[in-house]
Amino acid sequence: MIYRLASSRDFDSIYDLYMEESANPYLTYDPMSKEEFASIYNRLLKTETLFIVENEGAIIATYRLIPKTDRQAHTVYLGSFTISKNLQGKGFGKKILEHIKTYAAEQHKIRIELTVDINMREP
């Protein structure tokens, strides 16, 4: 798998991941058109916090790693983590999380924070 910062050429794939009906309620942005999402996406790219995961030439997942500051400079927040619906339940999430942990450690982070919904809805 390839892990990298998202770029402008990834827009369509990221849009599809964010707007996937079963994933969207757990992500940052409400359902919207591509035109509406374009300005948000451009802002996200400038933050250099939006990552993608490629597998066999296709973008299969996205997540954000948002560094905290000041007293929490040792922490990164993991947000908007989603995997293609057709690949869920196949171990990709575990592999991606392992990569995120390794990457965070390489960036001298000792803590990863995230929000977890304990009342997951059935598909």
Residue 66 has phi, psi (to 5 degrees) of -110, 110
Query: What range does the domain containing 39 cover?
Result: 2-113
Does a structural domain hold residue 119?
A: no
Cα–Cα distance for residue pair 96/73, rounded to 1 Å: 23
User: What SS3 string covers 50-108?
Assistant: EEEEEECCEEEEEEEEEECCHHHCCEEEEEEEEECHHHCCCCHHHHHHHHHHHHHHHCC
Q: Could you list the pLDDT tens digit for every one of the 123 residues in the chain?
A: 999 999 999 999 999 999 998 888 778 888 899 999 999 999 999 999 999 999 999 999 999 999 999 999 999 999 989 999 999 889 999 999 999 999 999 999 999 999 887 776 555
- Evaluate if pTM is beyond 0.85: yes
Q: Which pLDDT belongs to residue 60?
A: 96
Does a structural domain hold residue 61?
A: yes
Number of domains in the chain: 1
Question: Which domain CATH number covers 72?
Answer: 3.40.630.30
Does a structural domain hold residue 60?
A: yes
Does a structural domain hold residue 120?
A: no
Does a structural domain hold residue 52?
A: yes
Does a structural domain hold residue 118?
A: no
